C-alpha cells in the first residue's frame, strides 16, 4: 500500500518542470522554420529544454532524476509537441531514454546518466552484432533513425548476440541486447532527408569492433533485470509507444488550435463568409475535437491503469498490455487524422511551405511510420482480446 501512495502523490518538482516547459513553448514555436531547415534541433533550444528539467523526468530518483509518473511524462512530451513536432519528438526520445536508466546496472546508469538532465539518443532495433568478450562484448553495426544524436553525448543501440558466427537463440528468438556508447566514439552519417519530423536530426550512426563493458549492457524487454520501482516495471514497449504518440497528440492540438484561429478571418475562395461560418468547418472541427479528446483520455487512462498495477507490485496482464497498444494506435491515427483535417480545411494557402498546418500534417503522418504503431499491432491486440497469444515475440 505504501508503494501505491508514494507513486500517486503530487510531485512539486514535476509540476515545476511542466510549468517551465509550457513557458518555453512560444520560443520553440517561433523557430519552427529554422528547426526544419537545419534538419536538427538548434543547440541553444536543446539547452533551453534541458534547463526546464524535462530530460530528467524519467530517470531514477537516486540518480538525480524525477522518476515521474508515466502520465506526467506524456504531458511533458505533448506540451513540447504543441510547439513543434520535431522538438516534441526529440524531447520524447530523451525522456524515454531517461527511463532506460532504470534498465541498466547501477554502474552503467551512473556512467551514462552522470547528468540526468542531459539528452541521450537510442535505437531499439538490433542493427548491430555483439560477440561476447572478457568483461563485455565487441560490437559492430549501423543503426538508422538515431533521433537527437546530433545533440547527445550518449546513445544506446540494439545488437544480436553472436556465437560461433551465428545468432545465439532463446525461446523468444535471437538474443538481443542493448549497448551504451559515447557519441564521441561513433560515426554519424548525414542521412536525414525526409518528408516529416525533418528537424529531429535522426541520422544513421555506426561503430566497428567497439568494446562495450558488461556494465553498459541491458535487456530492454526483460523486466526481471530492471530496477524494481514501478516506472521501470512498466512494459517497455508499451510505455515507450505511449510517449511516442504523445507527440501525435501535441501536433494535432497545435493544428486544431491554429485552424480555429485562422477560421475567424480566412474567406475561402468563391465564398462570401469566413471559414468559421461554413457548416462543413463547424462539423469537422467538432468531430476533430471529440476524437482528439477521446484518444487522449483513453491513452492516459490505460497507461495509468497499468502503472497502478505495477505500483501494487503486480505484473500487468496480457489484456492490459493489449489495451495500451490499442490506445497507442488510436492516438497515433487520431493525431494524424486531426492534423490532416485541419490542413485540408485551411484550403490552398496551407500547402505553402510557410504554413505550419502542412508541417503539422507531415509530422503527424511521419509518426505513423514507427514500428510501434505499425498496422499489424491492431491484429495482435485483437488476438489477445479474443483469447489468443500475440504473434509478435515482444508485445
**Domain positions in the chain:** 2-112, 122-222, 234-385
Residue with cell 528468438: 173
Of the candidates 187, 176, 184, 65, the residue with the CA atom closest to the CA atom of residue 129:
176
* CATH among 3.20.20.70, 2.40.110.10, 2.60.120.10, 2.170.8.10 for 122-222: 2.40.110.10
Domain 122-222 identical in fold to domain 234-385: no
Of the candidates 104, 91, 106, the residue with the CA atom closest to the CA atom of residue 148:
91
- Kindly report whether the global pTM for this prediction surpasses the value 0.85: yes
Residue with cell 497545435: 254
- CA dihedral of 289, 294, 296, 300, whole degrees rounded to 10: 160
Instruction: Please report the pLDDT score of residue 392 as a whole number.
Output: 87
Q: 159: number of CA atoms within 13 Å, CB side?
A: 31
What secondary structure does DSSP assign to 82-112, as a single string?
Answer: HH-HHHHHHHHHHHHHHHGGGTS-HHHHHHH
Question: Residues with Cβ < 8 Å from 365, sequence gap 6 or more?
Answer: 195, 196, 336, 339, 340
Instruction: Please report the pLDDT score of residue 7 as a whole number.
Output: 37
Residue pLDDT tens, the chain, 395 long: 333 333 343 444 999 999 999 999 999 999 999 999 999 999 999 999 999 999 999 999 999 999 999 999 999 999 999 999 999 999 999 999 999 999 999 999 999 999 999 999 999 999 999 999 999 999 999 999 999 999 999 999 999 999 999 999 998 889 999 999 999 999 999 999 999 999 999 999 999 999 999 999 999 989 899 999 999 999 999 999 999 999 999 999 999 999 999 999 999 999 999 999 999 999 999 999 999 999 999 999 999 999 999 999 999 999 999 999 999 999 999 999 999 999 999 999 999 999 999 999 999 999 999 999 999 999 999 999 999 999 988 88
Q: Would you give the end-to-end CA distance of the chain in angstroms? A: 28
Question: Residues with Cβ < 8 Å from 44, sequence gap 6 or more?
Answer: none
Of the candidates 114, 121, 124, 99, the residue with the CA atom closest to the CA atom of residue 46:
121
Collapsing DSSP to helix, strand or coil, 128 comes out as strand
| Beta pairing, strands 154-163 & 166-167 | antiparallel
Nine-digit cell string for 293: 479528446
**Domain 2-112, architecture per CATH:** Orthogonal Bundle (1.10)
> Which residues in 164-202 belong to E strands, given as ranges?
166-167, 169-170, 173-174, 176-182, 187-189
CA 352 to CA 185: how far, in whole Å? 41
Instruction: Please report the pLDDT score of residue 153 as a whole number.
Output: 97
**Domain 234-385, architecture per CATH:** Up-down Bundle (1.20)
Amino acid at each position: 500500500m505504501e508503494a501505491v501512495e508514494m507513486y500517486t502523490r503530487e510531485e512539486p518538482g514535476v509540476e515545476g518542470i511542466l510549468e517551465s516547459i509550457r513557458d518555453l513553448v512560444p520560443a520553440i514555436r517561433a523557430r519552427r522554420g529554422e528547426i526544419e531547415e537545419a534538419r536538427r534541433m538548434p543547440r541553444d533550444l536543446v539547452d533551453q529544454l534541458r534547463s526546464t528539467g524535462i530530460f530528467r523526468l524519467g530517470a531514477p530518483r537516486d540518480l538525480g532524476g524525477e522518476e515521474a509518473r508515466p502520465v506526467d511524462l506524456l504531458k511533458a512530451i505533448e506540451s513540447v509537441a504543441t510547439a513543434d513536432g520535431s522538438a516534441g519528438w526529440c524531447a520524447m526520445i530523451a525522456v524515454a531514454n531517461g527511463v532506460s536508466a532504470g534498465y541498466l546496472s547501477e554502474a552503467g546508469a551512473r556512467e551514462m546518466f552522470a547528468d540526468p538532465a542531459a539528452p541521450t539518443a537510442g535505437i531499439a532495433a538490433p542493427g548491430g552484432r555483439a560477440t561476447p568478450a572478457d568483461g563485455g562484448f565487441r560490437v559492430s553495426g549501423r543503426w538508422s533513425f538515431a533521433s537527437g544524436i546530433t545533440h547527445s553525448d550518449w546513445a544506446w543501440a540494439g545488437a544480436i548476440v553472436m556465437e560461433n558466427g551465428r545468432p545465439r537463440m532463446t525461446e523468444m528468438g535471437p538474443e538481443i541486447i542493448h549497448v551504451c556508447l559515447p557519441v564521441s566514439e561513433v560515426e554519424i552519417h548525414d542521412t536525414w532527408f525526409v518528408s516529416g519530423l525533418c528537424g529531429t536530426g535522426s541520422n544513421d550512426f555506426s561503430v566497428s569492433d567497439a568494446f562495450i563493458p558488461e556494465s553498459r549492457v541491458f535487456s530492454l524487454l526483460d523486466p526481471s533485470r530492471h530496477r524494481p520501482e514501478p516506472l521501470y516495471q512498466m512494459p517497455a514497449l508499451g510505455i515507450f509507444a505511449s510517449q511516442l504518440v504523445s507527440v501525435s497528440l501535441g501536433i494535432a492540438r497545435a493544428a486544431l488550435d491554429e485552424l480555429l484561429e485562422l477560421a475567424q478571418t480566412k474567406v475561402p475562395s468563391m465564398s462570401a463568409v469566413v471559414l468559421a461560418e461554413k457548416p462543413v468547418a463547424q462539423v469537422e472541427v467538432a468531430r476533430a475535437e471529440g476524437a482528439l479528446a477521446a484518444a487522449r483520455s483513453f491513452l492516459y487512462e490505460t497507461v495509468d491503469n497499468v502503472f497502478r498495477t505495477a505500483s501494487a507490485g503486480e505484473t500487468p496482464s496480457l489484456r492490459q498490455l493489449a489495451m495500451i497498444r490499442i490506445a497507442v494506435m488510436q492516438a497515433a491515427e487520431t493525431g494524424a487524422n486531426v492534423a490532416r483535417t485541419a490542413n485540408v480545411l485551411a484550403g490552398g494557402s496551407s500547402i505553402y511551405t510557410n504554413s505550419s498546418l502542412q508541417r503539422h500534417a507531415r509530422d503527424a503522418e511521419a509518426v505513423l511510420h514507427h514500428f510501434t504503431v505499425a498496422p499489424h499491432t491492431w491484429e495482435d491486440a485483437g488476438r489477445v482480446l479474443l483469447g489468443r497469444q500475440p504473434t509478435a515475440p515482444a508485445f
